Amino acid sequence: MGNLFDLTGIVAVVTGSSRGIGLAIARALLGQGAGVVINGYAPDETTQTLQTLLSEYPDRVAALAGDVSDPSVAQQLVDVAVETFGRLDHVVCNAGIDIIKPAVDYTPDEWDRILAVNLRGAFLPAQAAARHWIALGQAGSVTMTSSIAGQVGIPTLAPYAASKGGINQLVRTLAAEWATHGIRVNAVAPGYVANIMDNVALHDEQRINTFTPLGRRATVDEIAAPYAFLASPAATYITGAILPADGGYTAT
């Protein structure tokens, strides 16, 4: 059967990959042989990450900075993949932001921005890729980033939780709708991770250790590994799945 986890020849786009979990996902895909288009919101950071990755994986990395909640950026990600590598096989919709505060304190602008990046910013790249694959009659796959907050209630995460609950249902709906085109759609749902997003305060460590059976935060590499699996030939019969990578948090 060969190596079911080999990604040689596969081309992927990974949004929100100039740092943190997204960068670890890009590295995991590159490590298995894929070509990768990275994306970050900040141009300088994205360029710096591109140069670092190119030094490790020459000729297998491209980049596009921009806001994935903008449909033109979503389309450009597809275009860059095709123009650079000649094809597109997989999209990871990972870009995300969060603001932790009591639900009564969120402003409408904060709510709208979190939902725009986390939910609209996941749908638009997936939609652009699906349009490309359907037009070519080509199979493809999408993996989105969900969260334990999409399944269980965690105080002070109201808009973030709403966006991740939306991701879960979006994955199921797109998986059912696009299956006839050979397009798989799944999500990974991380628990608490050692990487902390910008402008996000730490949640109580005692709570995390108490409610996570493995008793610790994950490393970014532990979260990235399931993304490589879902992009690989080993996952060709998996679609519509929300794969927990949470140390058992949602099992208890």
Active site residues: 160
Which distant-in-sequence residues (6+ apart) come within 8 Å of 163 by Cβ?
Answer: 96, 114, 115, 118, 119
* Single-letter code of the amino acid located at 141: S
Element (H, E) at 161: helix 158-178
Which distant-in-sequence residues (6+ apart) come within 8 Å of 126 by Cβ?
Answer: 91, 93, 142, 144, 174, 185
Residues in the chain: 252
Over the Cα atoms of the chain, what is R_g? 17
Which distant-in-sequence residues (6+ apart) come within 8 Å of 210 by Cβ?
Answer: none
Residue of 243, 132, 237, 238 whose CA lies nearest to 187: 243
217 and 248 Cβ atoms separated by less than 8 Å: no
Q: How far apart are CA 100 and CA 239, in angstroms?
A: 31
Q: Side-chain half-sphere of 92: how many Cα atoms within 13 Å?
A: 39
236 and 182 Cβ atoms separated by less than 8 Å: no
Sign of CA dihedral 232, 234, 236, 240: negative
